[in-house]
Amino acid sequence: MSSTQLTIRTDEATKTAIAQFAKKLGLSTSAFVMAATREAMENGRVTLSAPLEPTPYLKEIIEEAEQDIAEGKNIQTFDNPDDLVSHLRSL
């Protein structure tokens, strides 16, 4: 299939935001626009989303939890739900 150029007008902030969003999806701006156009034409809708990225705070908490698990710290197991409930009530 041969290609042709499509030109659209937008403000600089939108252009930058779309380029950044496309990059999060692993696409160029052109590939993003083509994907959105194809989906709109084929399905009558556009559904694209960027992968979720944890915040720096959440990354820190995850790292701490993984370290605690590796060291066996701050980990408690229960044999049954009643023991868990009793423990929680004692806090």
User: Tens digits of per-residue pLDDT, 13-50?
Assistant: 999 999 999 998 899 999 999 988 988 999 988 776 77
Q: What per-residue confidence (pLDDT) applies to 10?
A: 94
Contact between residue 83 and residue 90 where contact means Cβ atoms under 8 Å apart: no
Percent of the chain with pLDDT over 70: 97
Dihedral of the alpha carbons of 7, 8, 9, 15, in degrees to the nearest 10:
-100
> Phi and psi (nearest 5°) for 15?
-60, -45
Q: What per-residue confidence (pLDDT) applies to 6?
A: 87
Mean pLDDT of the chain: 90
Separation CA 47–CA 43 (nearest Å) = 10
Q: What per-residue confidence (pLDDT) applies to 79?
A: 93
Separation CA 47–CA 8 (nearest Å) = 21
Q: Is the pLDDT of residue 51 over 80?
A: no
Contact between residue 36 and residue 28 where contact means Cβ atoms under 8 Å apart: no
Query: What would the mean pLDDT of 58-67 be, rounded to a whole number?
Result: 94
